[in-house]
Structure 1
Amino acid sequence: MPDEPCLQLLDLLERDQLAGHDFPGSGLTIRALVAVLAARQQTPPRLGNPRRCFFAVLEPFLIDEQLPRKWVGRIARTSLNHIWDWLCHDLAAAEMAAYQAEVVTALLDRDVARAHEQAAQLQKALLPAIRRAVASHDEAVLHRFSVLVGGQAVLEDLRDMMTVMEHRETLRALGERIRGPIRQLDEEEAAFILEALVPFARGDAMLLPYAVALVMGRLTHPWQILQVAVLAVESREALRLGQSSFRVVMELLLCELERLVVRAQAERRGRRTARLALAATDFAASVRAIVDHIAMGPEIGWMKRMGAARSRMAQVLRPELEELPGRVRRILRAPWYRELDGGGAFDAGEFAAIEAGLDLLVIAKDHAAELALNEATLRVISRLAAFLEASLRPLLDGLRGSVGDDRAFRLQQLEAAVRIARRVLGAEYATLLQKAVDVAAAEVRPLARAG
């Protein structure tokens, strides 16, 4: 479907949802349309809803990953469901119902500014009640409250939410000052960002983590913020950075490493190897940036935490790499195995998955130190190289005497072998192999011609 009908259908479905006329499955259809438009590099204007308007101010601080620990300045998106239910059912049912009715009316009139103004007013009105609810110092009371709102992690995210909403105008002004995306962070730009962050670093620096998180969202690569941290403390020494308020930069970058590990785990479970490779690349780039910008010693806790993240990422990637030799062996095995498999055709889908795995292998090879995969990568490449060198001659000899479907199958195998060799043994070897395939394909033995 073209973009314009998709946008029109999305707008119609969202308006029906707001008006309470949505049909079963409309939410699924909306998510599918948004995914299709996102794949086409389209960011559709969303009509929104009362819940989205209320939490819009938190967007720069939201993360989709469920992390094993809480990081200040980061709020799990899943916590919003629990917080919303608590607000609507326990804290302020009447106020939330009135707010939702007013925002629905504003959005149906396409008055987005009025809808967000209603959200800001409600936040201001509810903050004292929320503050009282979380103010107890009694551990038993806090535990009961955390169970009520959805758990300790949700309670901690609720505290972050309060801080952001209390200082929304200050953070909004920072966001308007630091425009993005910033692709190349030069010294002048780093100095400008530092000047904007210095007021947040004074005093108890309570807002600095949120300010840094907001700025990181404006950068093409989150690790670029290290240039600002080094400039702030005028040193690459980790000890000096750790003693300053700008230590939150390293804390948030360690959070980014945790996010990439969790993301990689999810991509591997979903067998999305290309996206797994992207997470591995981003992880390696972040580790390299930290090593290049910050001089750490063994006494620094950051070093230990970064090492733990590297170890977990290696655990995610290693099985994906170590299964490659077996998969390559199966797809390039002798054609007589086809009889055992019922005469199946060349598995193009499996080969596409193997190519994605080989792309991951190249990334692991190029960033073996950052990913803690030196030994595993060398072992996999060695096994693949040994198998290719042992199996190519029989495949070429078999091609010379083959006909019909068998010849087509062998040609597909050799084409796959060339593409595998390009990644494992290099472009020069792959070029020589392609010439050998062309020569073997041109040769026709008398027996093959007679057949």
Structure 2
Amino acid sequence: MDGMEKLKEKLKLYLSTLSESAQKMLLRNLEKAQREGNNDAAAELIVAALRDLLKVEEKIVPLEEFAKKDFFREARFFAAEIDLLSKVEARISPTSFDVIWNWVKRDIATPEHIQKLAMDCAELEKHEISKHSAEICAALIASVKARLKVVSRELGGEQKLSNHLGGEIVYKDLLDVLISAERIMPLKSILSRMPKEVASWSSPEGAEAYKLISQYVQQAPLRTSWLFSAVSKKLLSPRLRIQLATKLSGSDDAIQVAATVYAPAVQHMLVEMDAHVAVVDERLKEFSGLHEALEHLRTWSTLAKAVDVELEVSTQCAWGGALTEMKKRMSRILKSEVESAPGLVRKALRAPKSGENESVDSNLIADAVRASQIFHQAELAKDNLAMNGPIAEARKELDQSFEILTKSLVERTRQAIGPDAEALQELGSAAQDIAKNLFDPDFADSLGRQLKAAASVKEMQVAEA
């Protein structure tokens, strides 16, 4: 043990005579002095000794954690729920935030900025962190704006930057981020006076919120897209978003609403619907993506229903054409899945060939359960799809097949012993999972009781023998 270590151990022995609260207070004071530049070797040794005694690990909390939040604080009011396939004003795709921040750090920030972002804030007070964060954010925003001015003067500069950022949507999201502070400022008073959630425009809270919104629209009619975007997070139902446009415009005719400054309320929803179609298509291609795909299908169906219920949309208007195309695309995505469901269920639950033992194909069962889940959600969404025929045909076939298959399962279970009984227990469990999707939980429970009763018959016969 060298001299410094011996001295440190003596210090620890002395400092251990202090109470824990006194040790912590002394450590805080010394660390604060270090941050203010009042460093000396003795103080550093005492700090090290105190950290050993208190078992304090030096946890580094970089300023970047706070600066990134502050950089996008106002822009988050206008964040969309999903990454969009086409840009609309005041709706920022969620992944754009990370892309923009990485670009700022890589191409905008100077070495001094990077050093500042790496500054340890673990021991700083909140007001100190806020001060440092505000300073670095202001510097970075000024640098971004300066870069964009240069880009705008270059031939093809904006296109090059769009490509560099990963596409036009991210570039336009960046522009929205830069003006979001200005756009949210007049809206904060409205948002603060609105209830946390609006369930109906006819409720007292909803009526008051509508009054605030209407007054703002009269003052700034060309900024309704920013208003609708910020307010949408408070609305419990997508129908309320469409109702906002129809109430303000005084019409539920899509052509008339589209010609007003209130059109963004509907446009925002249409681009979100388009994005949900793309995610369903992408995630259904992966077996592990089923849950996410069905979530997006449910959301898309809810949005589509909101538009259908609240607007009179003719095929002659642009919105009508967009809706029709979306419904066709979603139907094409789901059609093969729906049509294959009856066959997959039959294969998974069918009886073995004469003389063969019962067997369980886990892959077939997984495919059948998956198919029943997709069919269930497609059937729920059928009013918003262009595939009534395939769904009705698949339903008829599933009803007939499942009745035959379940009767067979019950009878086979009644007769099974040994390995066959174990296999049928698995098949019965799978049949119940499928039944929940094709029918309802009560039907599945009833099937479960029949299978249990059938299994107990053979058990009693074996016991009596």
TM-score above 0.5, yes or no: yes
State yes or no: 1:366 paired with 2:380.
Answer: yes
Stretch deviating more after TM superposition (64-73 or 363-372):
64-73
CA distance in 2, matches of 1:378, 1:14: 65
2:451 is the counterpart of 1:407? no
C-alpha separation in 1, matches of 2:114 and 2:271: 36
1:284 corresponds, among 286, 292, 301, to 301
- Mapped to 1, the partners of 2:57 and 2:260 lie a distance apart of 50
Give 1:109's aligned residue: 124
Determine which of 203, 220, 231 is the counterpart of 2:236: 220
The answer for unaligned runs of 5 or more in structure 1 is 1-11, 20-46
The aligned counterpart of 1:153 is: 169
Letter matched to residue 143 of structure 1: Q
Query: Contact 1:274–1:356 (CA<8 Å) still a contact in 2?
Result: no
| Correspondent of 1:132 among 149, 153, 167 | 149
Cross-structure match for 1:387: 401
CA gap 1:407/1:443 in 2 versus in 1, 3 angstroms:
same
Q: Distance in 2 between matches of 1:164 and 1:154?
A: 15
Q: Which string of whole-angstrom CA distances, capped at 9 and with x for unpartnered residues, describes residues 30-54 of structure 1?
A: xxxxxxxxxxxxxxxxx93433332
User: Which string of whole-angstrom CA distances, capped at 9 and with x for unpartnered residues, describes residues 195-253 of structure 1?
Assistant: 33346535774532122111112223344212222221122122221121111100101
Distance 1:188 1:128 in 2: 44
Instruction: For 1:436 and 1:85, locate their aligned partners in 2 and report how far apart those are by CA, in whole Å.
Output: 59
- Whether the 8 Å contact between 2:352 and 2:359 is mirrored in structure 1 is no
**Corresponding residue of 1:37:** none
CA 1:447–1:13 in 2, change beyond 3 Å: closer, same or farther?
same
Instruction: Determine the structure 2 residue equivalent to 1:118.
Output: 135
With over 3 angstroms needed to count, the CA separation of the structure-2 counterparts of 1:77 and 1:388, relative to structure 1, is closer
Distance 2:255 2:185 in 1: 34
Structure 2 partner of 1:71: 88
Pick aligned residue for 1:18 from 56, 59, 62: 62
Aligned residue identity for 1:207: R
Contact kept in structure 1, 2:85 and 2:275, CA below 8 Å = no
* 253-262 or 385-394: bigger deviation: 385-394
Q: How far, CA to CA, are the matches of 1:178 and 1:337 in structure 2?
A: 70
How big is each residue's C-alpha offset from its partner over 1:405-436, in whole Å with a ceiling of 9 and x where there is no partner?
21232244234435534543567866775565
Q: Deviations over 1:8-59 (max 9, x none)?
A: xxxx99954628xxxxxxxxxxxxxxxxxxxxxxxxxxx9343333223222
| Deviations 1:133-168, CA, capped at 9 Å, x for gaps | 4544x7634333434444433322222122213434
Match of 1:293 in 2: 310
Q: 1:263 aligns with which of 249, 257, 279?
A: 279
Provide the rounded CA distance (Å) in 2 between the counterparts of 1:69 and 1:160. 14
Secondary structure of residue in 2 paired with 1:315: helix
State the match for 1:273 in structure 2. 290
Q: What is the CA distance between 1:194 and its match in structure 2? A: 3.3
Amino acid at match of 1:324: A
| Shift in alpha-carbon separation, 1:149–1:433, aligned structure 2, 3 A | closer
What amino acid sits opposite 2:412 in the alignment? Answer: G
- What residue is the counterpart of 2:23 in the other structure? none
Q: Contact between 1:322 and 1:380, CA under 8 Å: does it hold in 2?
A: yes
Among 258, 261, 273, the alignment partner of 1:242 is 258
Further displaced range: 323-332 or 168-177: 168-177
Equivalent residue for 1:313?
Answer: 330
Unaligned runs of 5+ in 2: 1-55
Distance 1:212 1:121 in 2: 27
Write out per-residue CA displacement over residues 374-428 of structure 1, whole angstroms, 9 at most, x where no aligned residue.
2232222222223223334443333333211212322442344355345435678
Q: State the Cα distance separating 1:122 from its structure 2 match.
A: 3.4
Pick aligned residue for 1:176 from 192, 203, 222: 192
**Alpha-carbon distance in 1 for matches of 2:290, 2:177:** 35
Give the SS at the match of 2:266: helix
1:51 aligns to 2:68 (yes or no)? yes
Given that residues 67 and 262 in structure 1 are in contact (C-alpha distance below 8 angstroms), is that contact kept between their aligned partners in structure 2?
no
Query: How much does 1:311 deviate?
Result: 2.2
Q: Does residue 233 of the first structure (1) align with residue 277 of the second (2)?
A: no
Deviation at 1:120, TM superposition (A): 5.4
- After superposition, the Cα gap between the structure-2 partners of 1:402 and 1:88, relative to the gap in structure 1 and judged at 3 Å, is closer
Q: How many residues align?
A: 407
Q: Quickly say closer, same or farther: Cα 1:89–1:364, change in 2 above 3 A.
A: closer
Distance 1:52 1:445, change over 3 A: closer
Contact residue 335 and residue 390 of structure 2 kept, 8 A: yes
How far off is 1:65 after superposition?
Answer: 4.4
Distance 1:70 1:414 in 2: 49
3-state SS in 1 of match to 2:156: helix
Note the C-alpha offset of 1:298.
2.3
User: Is 1:196 paired with 2:196?
Assistant: no
Aligned to 2:52: none
